[in-house]
Amino acid sequence: MDATIAGSNNDASDSKEATMRLLHTMLRTGDLDRAIAFYTEVLGMQLLRRQDYPEGKFTLAFVGYGIETENTVIELTYNWGVDHYDLGKGFGHIAIEVDDVYAACAEIKRRGGTVVREAGPMNAGTTIIAFVADPDGYYIELIGKRG
């Protein structure tokens, strides 16, 4: 398989501007207001936009740490009348880099969040990580900033 796409390769040192970028990850939620509160009040993201689609009977909300033109964000999808989803076994987690994993876990707990794996070295490694769960049960990995 060719590693180049539209004239750019995957090497960050390549002088050509990449033509593709990751825009967002979509998560379905059974309670949009609860999910928005978690991502904004517990994880400190911003609600970037929210829009109802009455004809499709769903609402989309986008949250993130910065504007969508410069950052990858999370799309929260609420299908009207659906109050929960089975998460399945295929999805793993979302990862967020933090300066201090121990401090981030303490702050998340203080804000009412659930830490499901306390801060500490990863299995078979030295990187400090932790896991938290959002109100719908999706896992968010916190990874300590390197270097």
* Residue 18 binned pLDDT confidence (cut-offs 50, 70, 90): very low
So what's the pLDDT on residue 6? 42
**pLDDT single digits (tens) 87-126:** 888 899 999 999 999 999 999 999 999 999 999 999 888 9
The residues of the chain that CATH labels 3.10.180.10 are 21-84, 93-147
Top-confidence residue, 21 or 100: 100
Comparing C-alpha atoms, which of 80, 75, 78, 21 is closest to residue 48?
A: 75
Residue 88: half-sphere exposure toward Cβ, Cα within 13 Å:
6
So what's the pLDDT on residue 19? 75
Residues identified as active-site: 141
Cβ neighbours of residue 83 under 8 Å, at least 6 residues apart? 30, 31
The yes-or-no verdict on residue 43 having pLDDT over 90 is: yes
CATH topology of domain 93-147: 2,3-Dihydroxybiphenyl 1,2-Dioxygenase; domain 1 (3.10.180)
Paired tokens of 138: 């999706």
